[in-house]
Amino acid sequence: SNVTVIEMLPAILTTEDEEIARGLITILKKRGIQIFTETKVKEAKVKGGHAEVTVTNKEEKEEVFKAEKALMAVGRSPCTDGLQLEKANVALNGKFIKVNERMETTSPGIYAIGDVTGRQMLAHKASAEGVAAAENAAGKRATVDYSKIPNCIFTFPEIASIGLTEKQAKEKGLELMIGRFPFASNGRALATGGSEGLVKVIAEKELGQVVGVHILGDHATDLIGGPALALGLEATTDELGKTVQAHPTLMEAVSEASLDAMREAIHLPKKRR
């Protein structure tokens, strides 16, 4: 199949670490996938049993793409119209329901969770909010730490990330140490034919605390659970790197990337400090 991606923004995957995004874009282009950025969809219709999409690029040049199928992926919007929330004294922030850190709306005793509240529109984020809302409704006190919610992109290969990107960490003024480990150096990845991609670990230099982990590769979305726990426990590169992983597994790449941040990776050429 021939696949074409039309993106209005200057780049795709703008929420991901730039290095990881570039890696996936390179892989996709090698597979023959065309990516058009800064291109707007003017019209999409079915004509003669096929999809016909008319676009304009940044030079306002018009082009028509014909395909068997067209997928429109433009995000979500909250379904709050017609709910008459004002009658219950529930305030809105735009079209989203306004909530506090306990998921409670402006009307005491009424809670809202998920996409309707804004923030990351992720099912697992909504689930965490649901638990917090239920605990708060039951008299406990619970909040959700939005800085430690994994983000997953189910492409081939996958992307999974948690915490800060390299750019975000630098913008915070952190002095960093960064480790990388390619799946091409991982035994399990080589054995299963999934050697594309890498693990990238970002840590602040003074204490070695891990502040971000980014994975591009097969089963990346399954691997992110370990780094999620590490960030939740404020683990260091030493702790994550020296956790003994079973062999041969893909999780070894996570530990090796952590060790590489300290220039201690075993299965990479020695680097200068």
Q: Which residues belong to the active site?
A: 247
Closest CA to 164 of 232, 230, 207, 211: 211
Cα(83)–Cα(23) distance, rounded to whole angstroms? 44
E strand spans, the chain = 4-6, 34-36, 40-47, 50-56, 62-67, 92-93, 96-97, 151-153, 158-163, 176-182, 198-204, 210-217
Q: In this structure, what DSSP letter does residue 220 have?
A: H
Which residues have C-beta within 8 Å of that of residue 251, sequence separation ≥ 6? 223, 226, 245
With tokens 């990330």, the residue in question is 161
Q: In this structure, what DSSP letter does residue 244 have?
A: P
Cα(181)–Cα(223) distance, rounded to whole angstroms? 14
User: Based on C-alpha coordinates, what's the Rg of the chain?
Assistant: 22
